[in-house]
């Protein structure tokens, strides 16, 4: 299950970068646009009006954060959360100018008056609000759609990660401490173990026993060879 929830970071790389750039554009253009006479009144750079804060800077920050989450996250639910944040930011870019008269005095739009002639104003409307919001919402919806579907590649990657995890777990379980696990591993593999002589013996030769059967066994598969040793110190 955990493997299915993980996705390659490359899955949302391009969309995440685009959302970051669009969010940065939406949040900065009202502040730097007046330098190029591409703005809404007041035609003053770095002027923080309530309309700019709530209708442009705030959704720009939300979109930027959502795109960043999509870009760096390798977990499917987290990446989808970032995509939803970006989608909400795009929707607010497109709809905020329509809803802003609800909280302004005189029921007028909070965005101000666009600067320039007819085509200039159309470009400002598209680049500041409607067009920008639609592009952001489209990219976010694309990311949500891709993350909602578990493809064949995702299933294969999940199986590969699961097999690798199982192999690592088995390797860690088999790596027992030498003092506690040597005898157990020798018994399981049919190896011979050397029995210590009883306490008090001083010149007894060690006898080789079969760990599984408890019978004397030959060291080389033939007759057992005794080797005399000195007194135990």
pLDDT at 83 over 50: yes
Residue 152 scores a pLDDT above 70: no
Spatial separation of the C-alpha atoms in residues 45 and 218, rounded to whole Å? 95
Q: What is the pLDDT of residues 179-212, one digit of tens each?
A: 444 444 454 455 444 445 455 544 444 444 444 4
pLDDT above 80: residue 64:
yes
Instruction: Give yes or no for a cis peptide into 87 (omega within 30° of 0).
Output: no
pLDDT per position as a tens digit, 105-126: 766 777 888 888 889 899 999 9
Query: pTM for this one?
Result: 0.64
Write down the pLDDT at residue 55: 93
Beta strands in the chain (DSSP E): 192-195, 207-210
Cβ(55)–Cβ(96) under 8 Å? yes
pLDDT value of residue 206: 47
């Amino acid at each position: 299950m955990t493997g299915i929830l993980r996705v390659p970071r490359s899955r949302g790389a391009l969309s995440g970068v685009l959302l970051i750039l669009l969010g940065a554009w939406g949040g900065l253009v009202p502040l730097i646009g007046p330098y190029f006479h591409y703005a809404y009144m007041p035609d003053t750079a770095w002027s923080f009006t309530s309309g700019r804060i709530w209708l442009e800077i705030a959704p720009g920050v939300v979109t930027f954060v959502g795109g960043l989450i999509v870009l760096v996250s390798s977990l499917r639910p987290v990446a989808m959360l970032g995509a939803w944040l970006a989608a909400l930011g795009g929707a607010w870019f497109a709809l905020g100018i329509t809803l802003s008269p609800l909280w302004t005095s005189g029921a007028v739009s909070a965005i101000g008056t666009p600067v320039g002639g007819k085509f200039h104003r159309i470009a400002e409307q598209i680049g500041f609000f409607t067009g920008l919001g639609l592009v952001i919402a489209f990219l976010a919806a694309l990311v949500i759609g891709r993350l909602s579907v578990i493809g064949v590649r995702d299933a294969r990657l999940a199986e590969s990660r699961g097999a690798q995890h199982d192999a690592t777990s088995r390797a860690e379980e088999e790596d027992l401490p030498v003092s506690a696990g040597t005898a157990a591993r020798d018994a399981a593999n049919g190896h011979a173990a050397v029995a210590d002589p009883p306490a008090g013996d001083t010149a007894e030769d060690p006898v080789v026993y079969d760990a599984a059967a408890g019978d004397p066994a030959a060291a080389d598969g033939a007759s057992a060879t005794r080797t005399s040793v000195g007194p135990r110190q």
